[in-house]
Each structure stands twice: as C-alpha cells, then as structure tokens.
Amino acid sequence: MSNMFQKIAEMVVQKKNTVLVTVIDNTGSTPREKGSRMLVGERGRIAGTIGGGTVEFMAEELAKICVTEKKSCTKSYNLAPNEVADLGMICGGSVVVLFQYLSYELPHLGEMCQEISSYMIQNRNFYVLSSLSETQTVPFVLRNEKTEDFEEEKYFIEEFVAAGKVYIFGGGHVAQALVPILHGLDFYPVVLEDRADFLTADLFPLAKERILVDFKNMQGMIQITDKDYAIVITRCHQFDYDLEKQLLATPAYYIGVMGSKHKAATQKGMLREAGYSKQEINRLHMPIGIKIKAETLAELAISISAELVMKRAEKPEEKK
C-alpha cells in the first residue's frame, strides 16, 4: 500500500491527474475487502487492484471518466445472487467504491502522499481519512491517533496498524532468499547475525533492519513483542538451541525453527530435559514452514513465507 501513495506522489511530479479508487464498504462475499485500492489515470489502471474481474473493469472505466471530467463520486456494485450474472461474477455480496479525483495541482497533495508513504515505511500506527465529498479540496487527512473529532459521515477512516517485525536469526542463503519474499508480502523483515560479513546491504537490500548480535545473549539488544515473529535459521544447532530458550522467554507471537524432523525431536528433548513444559515447547513451530515438499532455497523461502501469511491472517488485530 505504501507503493500506492508513493505512486500518487510520482504522478504529481509528472503533472498527471489521477483517480484513487477505494473500496469503502463491502457486504457478503466480495473479491476484496474495505481499503482495497487502485490508482487510475486517463489511460487506465496505474497500480493496485480492487479484486479484478468485471467490477474492477467497470470501476476502471468509470475512473477514466472521472479523470477526464475532473470529478469525484461513489458507486455501489451489487453482487447479490440474482444480479451476479449481469456482472459476470460468481460471488455474492456488494461493494461501495469511492472515486477520488486527484488533481496534480491540489496544494500539498504530493507532500501528503510522501508523508503517508513514509509512515508506512517506518512501520508506524496511524490513520488516513479519505474525504467522501465529491468537491473536496483536501483528499486525505493524516492522523497519528484516533480522536473524537473524526467525522465518519465525511470521511472513510482507515487505521494502519504497524506490522509485527519478523526477526530472522541467521543471514545465510535461506535468509537471503526469504527477505525479498517477506518484503513483497508487506512484512517487516529484520536480519540478525553475529557475523558482520553476513549483514551487508548487498546481501539484504530489502531488510528493514540489520542487527549484529550475540546469539548466546540477546538480552538488551532487541525487544520482541507479542506482535512479532521470530525465525531461527542459524548455521549451528547449538545457536538454534540457545535462541530457542531465549525466545521462549519472550511474548513473541510466532517462533519458527528450521530443521529436519530428527533435529526437531532432538531439540525438543533437550528442552524437556532443561525443564521446559510441553506447553512452552509447543510454541515452537519446528520444523518451520508449510509442507510443500520444498527442496530448493526458493521453495524453502516460499514454504516459510506461506506459514507466516497464515499466522498473520489468524491475528485478530490484523484482520481488516
């Protein structure tokens, strides 16, 4: 989503008018949920999607008209069963779509979109208010917190929740394949290593943070919260075991450890001997990843990423 606001800022620089198409309400079974966005220029879609299919096609055509006529509007698309055939859709439900005309000449539009994009990159909690007025002069309002002066009848209010960080312990080949995928899935990957040579920007250009740590003693070096994920893929079984014990002392939402079934059984046995309860040991997802018979580095990265996507979807605060 940060790309969307960045793209608007780029269109402002290029002196091109656009329309931001946003799903502001939905009921029943629909392709995308509230907050789904698509940016459209005079020639068609520039970025984003509101679900594809006939509804997106119709929305894109209306958006092109809005660009030409320099207007904003809202439109409902009914996907109820008795009208599904007319729209060429197989799912029921309905969506309400906001079409915001964005003139490149609107004061401070580019700066506002850059600031929103910056907040996303910084992984901050904030609110974006999109004007529902068809004659708006200020399309967006950025707020750091929800206050009583929010006027819901005038704005579509969207809360952006900071993504939990994904702490990746180990900067080897699997981590190098994993970080780009996590970045593309809107996670916040942080790579931790005890070797500076494995923490370079060349190896991890898309990592949000790169931290040099002591795997045997992380205390005070990072603060893992109950929103965060931890992935243990170091070069050494002993390091993995040391990290497992330290991570079990944190409220981490998810802890995954890479390795074979034999390694998992061995390390779980060591934890039991060390006095850890079954409930504590069961917090470890080991071996890590969705079972897709992964063999290559890319396949392993996809397997791990898929498990994180599933776990993220299960987090109540991240369900939009």
Tokens, residue 311? 């776990």
Q: What is the rounded CA–CA span in Å between residue 244 and residue 129?
A: 42
CA 240 from chain centre, in angstroms, equals 27
DSSP assignment letter at 82: G
Q: What is the rounded CA–CA span in Å between residue 163 and residue 124?
A: 8
- When computed from its CA atoms, the radius of gyration of the chain, rounded to whole angstroms, is 23
Q: Label residues 145-174 b or e (16+ Cβ within 10 Å = b).
A: eeeeeeeeeebbbbebeebbbbbbbbbbeb
- The helix (run of H) or strand (run of E) holding residue 158 is strand 155-160
Q: What is the rounded CA–CA span in Å between residue 156 and residue 175?
A: 39
Q: What is the pLDDT along the chain (320 residues), one digit of tens a residue?
A: 557 899 999 999 999 999 999 998 887 655 567 888 999 999 999 999 988 788 899 999 999 999 999 999 999 987 655 444 444 545 557 889 999 999 999 989 999 999 998 988 888 889 998 888 777 677 888 888 766 566 656 888 888 888 889 999 999 999 999 999 999 898 999 999 999 999 999 999 999 999 999 999 988 889 999 999 999 999 999 999 999 999 999 999 999 999 889 999 999 999 999 999 999 999 999 999 999 998 899 999 999 999 999 999 887 655 44
Q: What is the rounded CA–CA span in Å between residue 128 and residue 126?
A: 7
Alpha helices by DSSP H, listed for the chain, are: 2-13, 53-69, 84-87, 109-121, 173-184, 237-247, 261-273, 278-281, 297-313
DSSP assignment letter at 28: S
